[in-house]
Structure 1
């Protein structure tokens, strides 16, 4: 049985190299398990609970897909949408004022019935309060600018600024939608200076 790794099969979206720099991609509509929250991810219990619930369901879906459908895959990376009611708070890294949606992609062949069954089974096995807030949603980003950042999450600021203040205006584009991050590294196992994160911003042509 072949095992699909979306970082390879969707390499333009999940496998850019550092040498590529900021570049444009066309992102197809994809389904995600999502949980919304608020506050600093470094100290928020809700954030930890959301991530735990997302991984629990994602790994259970992988197992169900392999057993019932004979389709195996690597669980996709954790992703996050980030924004703030005040853009100044976002740029100033005032994380206690941030809003977020944490999410993990669901393969197209995994249907609603399987997802519902996995969630029901997870509730019986373990107390996961964040499951009450979990939903499945189709994300349609379309054209987007993205770049691979290698380093600490707290060092993303200059890269994001370059994307917004130089790349987008230079290509006649403006941002739409939310700042999107894709976490390719496990911060529990990888040193901060070696963390790999894709930074993505949906865009449109400037009117």
Structure 2
């Protein structure tokens, strides 16, 4: 372990809480992830979320559990995020419903986490993960990506207003969305922050017109 700390809230632009929309290049990153379908308000979604935290904290607390990870740096566990789309059979539905959603929920891992370290974390955390979901968790490698993002403050059901601002910004900057899916990064602790004050980063992939 080195004395250097990962201060991702300060150092990584992708987690900026600035209210104005912005265009960023997100570097290649690694995540623990799990996929799912349906309404995120139902218990299955929360069960899937709970598969990711034991893995993330097993790595974060490794130095206290006799696991010497090469190049380990102290850090705060990264926030939960979701990559959201619509299940193919519902793409032509006249009205989109929450049960139509498909998603990949993830927690980013520091750069020192390799495939081998991720595999070891899965072994060490297995007893804390729902046995029915354990085989669905995977270590995900995402390539560099050009994105536009905006900070949304408030309820998830009010996100369309923020997305409208983001779409206008993208158009005026000379870009278009390169895919229909979007990413949400949950910067607030839902257990402690009331709905009206919750902060969520809304992010979409873009390309030049």
Identify if the C-alpha distance between structure 1 residues 96 and 174 changes in structure 2 by more than 3 Å, giving closer, same or farther. Answer: same
Cα distance, 1:5 vs structure 2 = 2.8
The 2-side partners of 1:195 and 1:187 are apart by 7
Counterpart in 2 of 1:41?
40
Question: Does structure 1 retain, via aligned residues, the 8 Å contact 2:58–2:124?
Answer: no
2:121 to 118, 123, 128: 118
Counterpart in 2 of 1:79?
81
| CA deviation string 1:44-64 (max 9, x = no partner) | x32111110111111111112
Please report the TM-score for the alignment, with normalisation by the length of structure 2. Answer: 0.87
Deviation beyond 3 Å, 4+ runs, structure 1: 85-89, 124-128
Cα distance, 1:142 vs structure 2 = 1.7
Identify if the C-alpha distance between structure 1 residues 193 and 93 changes in structure 2 by more than 3 Å, giving closer, same or farther. Answer: farther
The 2-side partners of 1:35 and 1:104 are apart by 10
Q: Is there any run of 5+ residues in structure 1 with no aligned partner, and where?
A: none
Cα distance, 1:88 vs structure 2 = 6.8
Question: Does structure 2 retain, via aligned residues, the 8 Å contact 1:146–1:200?
Answer: yes
The 2-side partners of 1:65 and 1:142 are apart by 32
Aligned length: 200
Cα distance, 1:141 vs structure 2 = 4.9
Does 2:34 correspond to 1:32? no
Cα distance, 1:97 vs structure 2 = 0.3
Counterpart in 2 of 1:170?
172
Q: Is there any run of 5+ residues in structure 2 with no aligned partner, and where?
A: none
**If each structure's helix is expressed as a fraction of its own residues, which one has the higher value?**
1
Cα distance, 1:190 vs structure 2 = 0.5
Please report the TM-score for the alignment, with normalisation by the length of structure 1. Answer: 0.88
The 1-side partners of 2:189 and 2:55 are apart by 18
> 1:180-191, aligned counterparts within 5 Å?
180-191=183-194
2:161 to 158, 163, 175: 158
